[in-house]
Amino acid sequence: MLRLIERPGAHALVRVLPSRRAVVSWNSDAPAGGIALIAYRAGGTVSPPLPYARWSPEARRSENGADQITRIEVDVVESDVAVSAIGIASSVELDAVAVAVPPPPGAPAAARVPTGELDVPRVSQYSSAYPDAHGWCSAAALAMLLRYHGVAAGVPEVARGVYDDAYGGTGNWAFNAAYAGARGLRGVVAYLRGIDHVAAFIEAGLPVAISIGWNAGELPGAPLEHSEGHLLVVRGIDASHVAVNDPAHPSIATRYPRAALDLVFRAHGGVAYLVAPRERTAELVALANGAAPSTGSG
């Protein structure tokens, strides 16, 4: 379930289905700022403001605020008691703030007929100019989404713009969404219900970056034997395979078995980057919450 508030100013209260896990993402045109989160929990307890993130033109840093019940782990809110709302306290005006919580266990999405294939630019996570940069899959996946929507983006540039000094990498989900927002698009982090759910976005003309992890033998054709976390872009789906742009694959554009990709996507949490023009924000949220794609919206 995804809840999003546009133009909330510097403060917002976002109500969600009770959950012990959530991801908060934001978009802002401000070059520097900081955000704290306040957890409203079942039983009526409320956390103090928990430092969440700080950014400037020079650096970004997750702050991992916590109290005795609720803690922030880089980009994920974890709580021992279910959270029913999250307050956002920002030092700057926000263009949007979103809170996503996982769907109920086993909740399916509507089955989809095969989609067409979107013309997503191919971008590798590897660069001869940066031979030691092996963890740029998130930056490369985001660069593909940005380019698809007409925003020029190079992987080193995106990697610098999303790098989390505290985490020590480019895979902070919220910073990736914030970077898309700073480039004039709407970027949010959401939990989806599997590849059938992703298909709704493809039908609407919106490629999706999904976060996956797998062990040896679980993803036939993958360029890596295993991965604890990897981002790739889905651009088309048929009855048996998923067309993807995998930034770690030598060909980038490749296909994975639909059932296998669905399994490793769900098992890894079903987290996705959703990026669209700002005028399509309501549609993006509706699709994330299970609405059918609108006819002719691609």
The rounded distance, in Å, linking the Cα atoms of 256 and 146 is 23
Q: Are 157 and 285 in contact (CB under 8 A)?
A: no
What pLDDT band is residue 298 in, cutting at 50, 70 and 90? very low
Structural element, H or E, at residue 198: helix 195-203
The pLDDT of residue 169 is 94
Average pLDDT, the chain: 94
User: Looking at residues 225-238, what average pLDDT do you find?
Assistant: 95
DSSP 61-94: EE---B-SSEEEETTEEEEEEEEEEEEEEEEEEE
Strands (E) across the chain are located at: 2-27, 33-41, 50-55, 60-62, 70-73, 76-100, 185-191, 208-214, 227-237, 241-245, 253-257, 271-277
Q: What is the pLDDT of residues 1-22, one digit of tens each?
A: 999 999 999 999 999 999 999 9
Residue 94 in this model has a pLDDT that exceeds 90: yes
Residue 104 in this model has a pLDDT that exceeds 90: no
φ and ψ at residue 178, rounded to 5 degrees:
-65, -35
User: Looking at residues 136-156, what average pLDDT do you find?
Assistant: 97
Same fold, 2-100 and 137-288: no
Tokens 């880089």 correspond to what residue?
74
The rounded distance, in Å, linking the Cα atoms of 93 and 97 is 10
Tokens 């700057």 correspond to what residue?
92
The pLDDT of residue 107 is 76
Q: Which CATH class is domain 137-288?
A: alpha beta
Residue 294 in this model has a pLDDT that exceeds 70: no
Residue 91 in this model has a pLDDT that exceeds 50: yes
Per-domain boundaries in the chain:
2-100, 137-288
The rounded distance, in Å, linking the Cα atoms of 108 and 16 is 19
- For 276, residues 6+ apart whose C-beta sits below 8 A from its C-beta are 149, 185, 186, 206, 283, 284
* DSSP β-ladder status, 185-191 and 208-214: unpaired
The pLDDT of residue 132 is 73
Q: Are 77 and 86 in contact (CB under 8 A)?
A: yes
Protein fold of 2-100: Hypothetical Protein Tm1070; Chain: A (2.60.290)
Q: Are 90 and 11 in contact (CB under 8 A)?
A: yes
The rounded distance, in Å, linking the Cα atoms of 276 and 209 is 12
What pLDDT band is residue 150 in, cutting at 50, 70 and 90? very high
The pLDDT of residue 133 is 72
* DSSP β-ladder status, 76-100 and 70-73: antiparallel
Distance in Å from the first CA to the final CA of the chain? 23
The rounded distance, in Å, linking the Cα atoms of 140 and 146 is 10
| pLDDT over 90 percentage in the chain | 90
